[in-house]
Amino acid sequence: MKPVPAESTPVALVTGASRGIGRALAEHLLARGYQVVGCSRGDADWTDDRYLHLRADVADESDVKSLCREIKRRHGRLDVVINSAAVASTNHLLLTPAASVETMLRVNVTGTLLVSREAAKLMRKRGYGRIVNISSIAVPLQIPGQAGYVASKSAVEGLSKVMAGELAEYGITVNVIGPSPIDTDMIRGLPKEKVEQLVGKMSVRRMGTHADVANVLDFFLRPESSAVTGQVVYLGGITPA
């Protein structure tokens, strides 16, 4: 795999960049000198000279194609994709609506596939790319009440491993980060006792931080990490069940 081409500023796409982990990682990449394109279904309430925010539904194929066409038109390249856009819902299995599961699968799985597919078409032309998908420790912990969410994020992990094999010949790596609980809107929707139980199951018994996630992201993005692909890193001292 080739090192990062140095002819111009690298460009990153971050989905779900209006808030939470997506926003934090977009700001982190800006601090590292990237041009960053972020997207979400709504507008972002923050700006930067090197940041462009576009409205797009990652589960809508036409939206994703338009998004990547705009990146190509403006920048002519794409080096990094972070698939952070996600939705979650907590319900006992017996009370889980089908519509809720279908939404999670569309956004979390289909969205990740569509964005990765269209991004890879831009990346392969230059023989270089980094795709990093966001999963969750809910997968190895198999958290009760999150059957649909765990199913969707498990699918993201499986999808990522297949993509890693298919895209390696183009110099594109695909890896996954499974954050521990971080103080975001998604976690705030859980009962306090549920969050405490999650933290109690981790080896590192504290809430996660955006810096924890950014640290693993930096490793995956390094030119020297060209042989690291198809990997899932869970934070908090979590291992698969």
234 is annotated as an active-site residue:
no
Catalytic residue among 34, 149, 170, 234: 149
What pLDDT, in 10s, does the model give residues 169-205? 999 999 999 999 898 776 776 778 878 888 888 899 8
Identify the pLDDT of residue 70.
97
**Interval 69-113: pLDDT, tens:** 999 999 999 999 999 999 998 899 999 999 999 999 999 999 999
CB atoms within 10 A of CB 95: 9
Check: CB of residue 126 under 8 Å from CB of residue 5: yes
Q: What is the mean pLDDT of the chain?
A: 93
CA dist 201 and 238 (Å) reads 8
Any residues with CB less than 8 A from the CB of 200 and at least 6 apart, and which?
Answer: none
Buried b (16+ CB within 10 A) or exposed e, 161-197: bebbeebbebbbbbbbbbbbbbebebbeebeeebeee
For 32, 52, 197, the CA distances from 27, given in Å and listed in that order, are 9, 12, 30
- 104-131 average pLDDT score: 97
